[in-house]
């Protein structure tokens, strides 16, 4: 349990305080990958992305791979893993060891989209953007369906969306090499892409172990 004290103004009088209860962390890492690695991943894996996706006929991906399956993935994993440790400390309150469980490359051609989904059997997921992204197809994150919303919403043209009432959040415009990390349970999607081919590297990760008051679970790499 975390306790937050009251905010007091410099004059000594108490002031109102809005507290974000149980926020969801989202880590954005600009230029996580250099241009040489980004170019190498695009050149090698874009042609390997031949597996169809049932979301859209204009979306394909590679086979799901492990970091050791490619020297490029080994280099990528070396850059991703320290950020997983940092992000995991926010989720679990401890700097744990982390393992990249699987990686794959997505190719979204003009007109393609990715349906709302989350990632099973993992704790942290991430995306590294390998090409420019059209503003209309930036990744959108959503509240989980059937959550804790009121049964009746206030949703009309005159209301102002904010972090406490919006049901969607558009991630910042990425540049090639930018990376984002988020809890694997977080629902997300990619709207229809009106621009040029959009290529990204996605991955899932698990901690080496979790300990709940002596009940310890170790996860395989």
pLDDT tens, position by position, 91-115: 999 999 999 999 999 999 999 999 9
Instruction: Please check whether residue 134 lies inside any domain of the structure.
Output: yes
Are 176 and 131 in contact by the 8 Å Cβ rule? The answer is: yes
pTM: 0.90
Instruction: Please check whether residue 12 lies inside any domain of the structure.
Output: no
Instruction: Please check whether residue 13 lies inside any domain of the structure.
Output: no
When pLDDT is cut at 50, 70 and 90, the band that residue 213 belongs to is very high
Question: Rounded CA gap, 105 and 65, in Å?
Answer: 9
DSSP character string of 20-66: --SPPP-EEETT-S-HHHHHHHHHHHGGG--EEETTEEEEEE---B-
Phi (first) and psi of residue 68, to 5 degrees = -70, -5
Instruction: Please check whether residue 16 lies inside any domain of the structure.
Output: no
CATH code for position 137: 2.60.120.620
Instruction: Please check whether residue 19 lies inside any domain of the structure.
Output: no
Number of domains in the chain: 1
141 exposure class (CB count in 10 Å sphere: 0-12, 13-18, 19+): middle
pLDDT (tens digit, 9 = 90+) per residue, 157-196?
A: 999 999 888 889 999 999 999 999 999 999 999 999 999 9
Instruction: Please check whether residue 18 lies inside any domain of the structure.
Output: no
Domain that holds residue 88: 27-145+162-218
pLDDT (tens digit, 9 = 90+) per residue, 32-72?
A: 999 999 999 999 999 999 999 888 999 999 999 999 999 99
Instruction: Please check whether residue 171 lies inside any domain of the structure.
Output: yes
């Amino acid at each position: 349990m975390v306790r937050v004290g009251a905010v007091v103004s410099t004059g000594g009088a108490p002031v109102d305080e809005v507290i974000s209860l149980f926020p969801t962390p989202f880590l954005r890492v600009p230029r996580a990958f250099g241009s040489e690695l980004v170019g190498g991943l695009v050149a090698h894996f874009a042609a390997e992305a031949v597996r169809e996706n049932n979301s859209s006929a204009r979306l394909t991906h590679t086979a799901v791979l492990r970091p050791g399956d490619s020297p490029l993935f080994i280099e990528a994993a070396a850059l991703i893993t320290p950020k997983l440790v940092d992000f995991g400390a926010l989720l679990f309150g401890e700097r744990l060891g982390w393992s990249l469980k699987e990686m794959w490359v997505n190719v979204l051609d003009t007109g393609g989209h990715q349906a709302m989904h989350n990632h099973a059997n993992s704790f942290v997921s991430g995306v590294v953007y390998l090409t420019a992204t059209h503003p209309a197809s930036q990744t959108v994150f959503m509240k989980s369906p059937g959550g804790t919303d009121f049964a009746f919403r206030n949703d009309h043209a005159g209301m102002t969306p904010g972090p406490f009432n919006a049901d969607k959040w558009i991630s910042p415009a990425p540049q090639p090499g930018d990376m984002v990390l988020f809890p694997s349970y977080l629902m997300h999607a990619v709207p229809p892409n009106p621009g040029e081919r959009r290529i990204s590297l996605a991955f899932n990760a698990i901690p080496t172990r979790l300990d709940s008051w002596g009940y310890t679970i170790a996860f395989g790499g």
